[in-house]
Amino acid sequence: MAEPQISKTFPVKPKQKPKPRTPKQTPESKYWSSFKTKQIPNLIASINSLTFSPTAPHSFAAAHSTSLTLYNPQSQFSRSSNISLNDVVSSASFRSDGLLIAAADLSGLVQVFDVKTRTPLRRLRSHTRPVRFVKFPVADKLHLVSGGDDAVVKYWDVAGETTICDFLGHKDYVRCGDWSPNDSNMFITGSYDHTVKLWDVRDKDSSSVTEVNHGKPVEDVMFLPSGGLIATAGGDSVKIWDLIGGGKLVYSMESHNKTVTSICVGKVGKLSGEEAQQYRILSVALDGYMKVFDYAKMKVTHSMRFPAPLMSVGFSPDCMTRVIGTSNGIIYAGRRKNKEDVESGSDEELTKYERRLKKLGSGNALGLGPVAEEPRIRVLKPTSFRYFRRGQSEKPSERDYLVMRRKKVKLGEHDKLLKKFRHKEALVSVLGRTKNPENAVAVMEELVSRKKLLKCVSNLDLEELGMLLMFLQRYSTMPRYSRLLMGLTEKVIEMRADDIRASTELKGLIRNIKRAVEEEIRIQQSLQEIQGVISPLLRITGRR
């Protein structure tokens, strides 16, 4: 009898879907990848600086070799003008109105040019060694600051071609600096002595307000848009510091492999959700990478690789242009498509029905003759006139920004008089209403800051002087107001002594003030005696 054949079955491993080689892009990565990059070659030398004009069309200036070249982003990055200098250009800065540009070179000279005519308007020479950075303030049009290899930071009067102040705090080359976006009197500088210093131009004794230590030679430094944070670049790290908190280190980004050479602020302009309208730090380094850092979430959100060491980076104020300069004289300029650049018939702007018609042909679809078009529903856009004529009954959409009507501020009588610089009348007005002594003390403090209080006291007539003495009698001994009012009482008695001697009513008020002061002294002495008795008892109980 034949043995039965046994068939063996082996389990078959199911086929798995292949994993994609490239990870899925986030919306922010798609945003930064949407900048269509174009190379601007043949600039001979390293691109030391890239800076954008603050006014439309936001042209940018590239500092390379002994030239400062201006490009127009709206015309395929065509060269609009070229400014030649006598030495290698190290830095450039546009004025706030975009009409002037300052350029610093390695001969120690800072020059100011007219952007349109390329005419040199001012020559600022005071540095003894190469100048490494120059910067116009955000709002001030008459001054600028510069720093260089002589370790000196200079604050210039551009119109007079003179140095207003020299800030002598750094011990090594000063390489970079930036102005505060909120205060035209405050700026920061970074040096190869590893420190970043905050300066105030109103303080002429050359001492810095705040100082932080980056730990490596500082290559670039900038204020973040809030004005309270700064970012510093040096070594292979970018660090964020809190100036309001006394120079506290907030975070250190160490994702580069080589020296970080330049940083700037970029704004995410077209994303929806949480990422919309947020700022990012763009950093470039000698390792050829550009990193995008979200300092709200403290993480790198995008990275790009370039085939050469990167020296400078810039981002336009309208969020449309990004430029990167390399060490071999190439600018990688990227620009996003604007609404004006996109044709009305492009696939991105068409509805699903219109895309179908485009595939079939606008005329003879399947030989059935012309196809009747579906009526398009007109969507109101913020650029149209009808958008602003919708009326009050229109409900706001998600993208609308609701503007609330400002509440009208009601000013007191004394505030109105102060705005008109009628100082004595403001003081008399507030003294007549003794129910709110805070207002009267606030007015007196304002007059002290304007240096008008003693003049007002000297011009008071006898009746108004009586009102002032009555107010001082009531509130001069109160601890909240005594620091100001006791000093004012002495000045009033000293200035108006003759009037007080001639009036019995004023003499009575002075006697009342004297009694109130003596009573307050008596109370304070009693409190000190009680404190002297209680303090030893508290110490004994604390030991037990």
Tell me the per-residue pLDDT of 500-543, one tens digit each, with 9 for 90 and over.
888 888 888 888 888 888 888 888 888 888 888 888 888 887 76
Confidence band, pLDDT 50/70/90 cuts, at residue 24: low
- Tokens 């600018």 locate to 331
Confidence band, pLDDT 50/70/90 cuts, at residue 188: very high
Helix (H, G, I), strand (E, B), or coil: what is residue 180? Answer: coil
Residue 139 CA to residue 137 CA, distance in Å, equals 6
Average pLDDT, the chain: 81
Residue 393 CA to residue 389 CA, distance in Å, equals 11
Phi, psi for 343 (deg, rounded to 5)? -70, 155
**What pairs with residue 280 in β-bridges?**
266
Question: Would you state the pLDDT for residue 506?
Answer: 87
Assess whether pLDDT exceeds 70 at residue 373. no
Question: Would you state the pLDDT for residue 296?
Answer: 84
- Tokens 């300052």 locate to 102
Residue 145 CA to residue 153 CA, distance in Å, equals 7
Distances (CA, A) of 503 to 455, 460, 474, 496, 508: 21, 14, 20, 11, 9
Helix (H, G, I), strand (E, B), or coil: what is residue 283? Answer: strand
| Structure tokens, 460 | 């008071």
The mean per-residue pLDDT over the stretch 397-420 comes to: 79
Assess whether pLDDT exceeds 80 at residue 467. yes
Residue 231 CA to residue 237 CA, distance in Å, equals 10
- Tokens 């018939």 locate to 345
177 or 435, which is more confident?
Answer: 177
Count CB neighbours of 54 within 10 A: 15
Residue 520 CA to residue 526 CA, distance in Å, equals 10
Q: Where are the domains of the chain?
A: 27-335, 413-537
Tell me the longest C-alpha to C-alpha distance in the chain: 150
pTM, rounded to two decimals? 0.57
Distances (CA, A) of 474 to 92, 188, 447, 460, 469: 62, 49, 21, 19, 9
Per-residue pLDDT of 111-129, as tens digits, reads 999 988 888 898 999 888 9
Per-residue pLDDT of 73-90, as tens digits, reads 888 888 888 888 888 899
Least confident of 61-65, 309-313, 323-327, 373-377: 373-377
The mean per-residue pLDDT over the stretch 248-266 comes to: 90
Report percent pLDDT > 70 for the chain: 82
Assess whether pLDDT exceeds 60 at residue 43. yes
Confidence band, pLDDT 50/70/90 cuts, at residue 368: very low
- Listed residue (468, 516, 508) closest to 489, CA to CA: 468
Question: Would you state the pLDDT for residue 365?
Answer: 40
Confidence band, pLDDT 50/70/90 cuts, at residue 362: very low
Question: Would you state the pLDDT for residue 112?
Answer: 92
CATH number of 27-335: 2.130.10.10
Assess whether pLDDT exceeds 50 at residue 347. no
Confidence band, pLDDT 50/70/90 cuts, at residue 103: very high
